[in-house]
Structure 1
Amino acid sequence: MNIKIHLASFIIGAGISLYTLTQLAIYYMGTYRGHWASSILTLNDGLYVQIIQITSDALVIALAYVFAKFNLGFSFIKEPPHDFFLKEDYLSNKNIIILASSCLSALTICTTLLLLYRSNVVGLTILAIVTFLISYYFSKRRDYEDVRTAIAAHRKKTKSNGS
């Protein structure tokens, strides 16, 4: 599948942030109901870890099905394969936003490991929420810019045809 790396990194970063939030939500539900202790975060095997993993996998697969069924997701990213013959301006506002979000997501993934092993659940949750919201904000902003660009091009075409 031919997909541009900066777009793939944006998608992966947003996906990992959302997946982390899904697992934390399941973790919070389990600790709230008293099913497991907070020390479960430092484990990498066992029944409760498997419960969190299987439940989050099922939720994410269901969400992916809904996104595919109703054609949702990041609408500003064209469906692969991408055209690599067109020159990409990586310093354009659109691409700088994507690259900044990708770098923030990479930093978040690295910081997540630190917070996870220190059992800092609150910090981990805040970091994942902030990162996902920033990625979501930038994706919506990019959608609006694409719509404005399309409208401006249509108006320009209409004016040139009307003159």
Structure 2
Amino acid sequence: MVNSTHLLFDFSKESKLSSWRIVDDVVMGGRSNGSFKINEAGNGLFYGDISLKNNGGFSSLRYSFDKLSISNYTKIVLRIKGDGKQYQFRIKDDNDNFYSYIKQFKTSGNWETIEIPLSEMYPAFRGRKLDIQNFNSNTLAQIAFLIGNKKEESFKLEIDKIYLK
């Protein structure tokens, strides 16, 4: 393998955020409120408040792109600084799929590098694990972060870069 990593996104003060989308529980009547911006340090900042009102309880940040061949890679690596809370990292191999592949991770409150083996990402839809195999595709079309810990809370996740390894 010539290239051992493939950069999916590296945030800087010049980053264009137009392909990043917030999807909150408001799509189903909830009241959570997530936001996304570039902070003073030039990192992506996903932040907001989770509300359980009206059966809500989640906020997500999604980045869709043209299908990318990932057959040479086995992991996604996140360089992030969280707030000590648990998040989900989610991927789709096709944007038309109704489900995502998910891996939960807990942040430490410090800058950290989290490596997620693609084969450990399980399929789920609306919080329910599906009875199909874990991720084993050769393509990637969407990456996302989601917070939904079944409690009302504020959150803040700082993102430096995301890459394949």
TM-score normalised according to structure 2 size: 0.22
Q: Per residue, is there more strand in 1 or in 2?
A: 2
Larger radius of gyration: 1
TM-score normalised according to structure 1 size: 0.22
Indicate the structure whose relative CO is greater, using CA pairs within 8 Å and at least 6 residues apart. Answer: 1
Q: Per residue, is there more helix in 1 or in 2?
A: 1
